[in-house]
Chains A and B, each alone.
Chain A
Amino acid sequence: MKANHSSKVIIDRIEGDLAVLVLYDDDGVKFNVPVALLPDGAKDGDHLEMSFVTDDASKESEKKRIENLLAELKGK
């Protein structure tokens, strides 16, 4: 299990509020991302490093919160 995964993507174009990103290693893979989520000034033809990092601490704290809520609600 990888805790994080990073890939290179290219901004093929920007259509309104959406950037069309293409995976560098396989241009058959493309997806839209709101321009607002990209670095300032990102534009057509820019290459970006895209990373996904698993945040277990965040997940655990959410789990804990739900656990408490469920316990409270069921206890009523």
Chain B
Amino acid sequence: MNRKIRSIAVLALLAVAVAALVLFLRHRQAVPEPGPVSGKLVVRFLDVGQGDSELISLPNGETILIDSGDRGSPTVELLKKYAVKEITLIIATHPHADHIGDMRDVMRAFKVREVWDSGFNHATKTYGDMLQEIRDKGIKFATPKRGDMRTFGDVLLEILNPADQPPDDNPNNASLVARLTYGEKTFLFTGDAEDYENSAKPSAWEQMLGAEKGKLHVDLLKAAHHGSSNGTTREVIDAVRPSILTISCAAGNDYHHPHPKVMRMLEQDRNRIKVYRTDLEGTITAVCDGRQIEMSTEKQVAGDRLYLTGDEVAGSVASDGKGQDSRQNGRAAKRSR
């Protein structure tokens, strides 16, 4: 008898514990932050680890997603957190996995109306699977070229790259580069577009610099190729003259992103260019009313740390043990998918 009462009590306690856990987890689920803000353009450089993903909430309520980050990154969770319901347009800048790896999951989680793709035939399964998903879902598909544009209410989206003929067989140079204009303010999303510095070899940047002449200036530049030395050269910075520059990469990445050359150059220009980076500050948000851009970040970082190179960040991450934490988080996130 006693044993029966005890087991009932244990069961009751267990039930209470499970209920409490469920409530706790539901409570912990992030409350969606406002997505579209009427009259404002909100651009979020999502912290997806080593990769690129930019979420654009347009003043008219529509949504553009540029790149998805790599497979296993928290993109879908982040889109939910930022109250995405439907995606008007996905831009897959180019078919490397750190840009399109999570596309299939995004297309499975949200209704997507249209996809713009580089059309660069990169023979990977990741890219093939993305195209298959677009085909299976019957999503509208296009491969725009320089000169193509579209308006979303008061916002203008222009494609600056690739030209009709990509410069070479490097997928990075086939990157769709998009310029967004809202009122007086402009944003440039560059994928992994490269510039072969001190070389006559044609590249994406060289073609854009040639085609745009003196008109490449924008207010906010997403540094191409995660701050690598071939993405952001002196020539590019001098032509684009941004007042804000963002870098998307992971703390402790294996690829030396961002590159010392780029960080030295940005440090020289620190009075003219404000630098933001996802590896140190998490998701970066730009809110624009057409006249001004207001920046905010998930985490606060002392100014001088913003100029650390990728390897310096990797070193400090390894020594304070955070590297291991983030790797474990990465694994946990992947398991729960």
Which residues of A are at the interface with B, using a C-beta cutoff of 8 A? 10, 12-13, 15-16, 18, 20, 22, 24, 27-28, 30, 32, 44-47
Which chain B residues border A28 with CB–CB below 8 Å? 71-72, 334
Which residues of B are at the interface with A, using a C-beta cutoff of 8 A? 70-72, 96-98, 101, 122-126, 129, 170-171, 228, 254-256, 334
A11 to chain B, nearest CB (A): 8
Contact A13–B171 (Cβ < 8 Å): yes
Contact of A12 among B72, B124, B170, B256 (CB under 8 A): B124
Q: Chain B's interface: helix, strand, loop or mixed, by majority?
A: loop
Contact of B96 among A13, A24, A46, A47 (CB under 8 A): A13
What are 17 contact pairs spanning A and B, CB under 8 A? A10-B124, A12-B97, A12-B124, A13-B96, A15-B228, A15-B254, A18-B254, A18-B255, A27-B101, A27-B125, A27-B126, A28-B72, A28-B334, A32-B254, A44-B96, A46-B123, A47-B123
CA distance A76 to B79 in the complex (A): 68
Which chain B residues border A30 with CB–CB below 8 Å? 70, 97
Which chain A residues border B125 with CB–CB below 8 Å? 10, 22, 24, 27
Q: A15-B254, A32-B254, A44-B122 given. 6 additional CB < 8 A pairs? A: A10-B126, A20-B97, A27-B129, A30-B70, A45-B122, A47-B123
A59 to chain B, nearest CB (A): 29
Which chain B residues border A27 with CB–CB below 8 Å? 71, 97, 101, 124-126, 129
Which chain A residues border B334 with CB–CB below 8 Å? 28
Known: A12-B96, A28-B72. A45 touches B124 (CB 8 A): yes
A38 to chain B, nearest CB (A): 16
Known: A24-B125, A44-B122, A44-B170. A16 touches B96 (CB 8 A): no
CA distance A39 to B125 in the complex (A): 20
Which chain B residues border A44 with CB–CB below 8 Å? 96, 122, 170-171
Of chain A, the residue at the smallest CB distance from B192 is: A13
Which chain B residues border A15 with CB–CB below 8 Å? 228, 254-255
